[in-house]
Amino acid sequence: MSWIATTFEGVWVYEPYIWHDRRGYFYESFNQSTLPESLQKIQFVQDNEALSTRGVLRGLHYQLPPFAQSKLVRCTLGEVLDVIVDIRPGSATFGKSLSVILNDISKKQLFVPQGFAHGYIVLSESAIFSYKCDQFYHPQAEAGIRFDDPQLNIDWILPPSECIVSDKDQQQELFVQHKPFVKE
């Protein structure tokens, strides 16, 4: 198993070692002691799971401080394109996005620190998306950015005609209008 740093400060990809034999497979999906040193103080408090069909696009979501969330995300069934956008003013990657394919074959996971908007689109016929959060959900702290913001220019792989987006996500603000993410 290995944790791989990305070009985005604080963002990590976890690639587990998977043991296969005639019975199937086994792998460690999470082990606190294997986290990189910079993540050792993370304490996850909530697990979430969503089942979606092909084309469902969820995001781009985040919570404002003091309720900002770090997440460890994975796709346990099917395949998704997972997308994050750096919303930390002053960051070298502010306003840039990173996309990673997550699926039930590679079992790859993405650690998303506080200060990133997050979303994903289902590429397979259906998918189960699971994630751990280090902060409880607080509806009053909920914020988001439009998934199709032309400034962000995110390639969601599927054409817009195949995307299934909630009314709420279609009404999110553009990046230039989003609520500033300022750590308290």
131 classed as catalytic: yes
Annotated catalytic residue, options 62, 120, 131, 178: 131
Annotated catalytic residue, options 14, 61, 62, 120: 61
HEC readout, the chain? CEEEECCCCCCEEEECCCEEECCEEECCCCCHHHCCHHHCCCCCCEEEEEEEECCEEEEEEEECCCCCCCEEEEEEECEEEEEEEECCCCCCCCCCEEEEEEECCCCCEEEECCCEEEEEEECCCEEEEEEEECCCCCHHHEEEECCCCCCCCCCCCCCHHHCEECHHHHCCECHHHCCCCCCC
178 classed as catalytic: no
Residues annotated as catalytic are: 61, 131
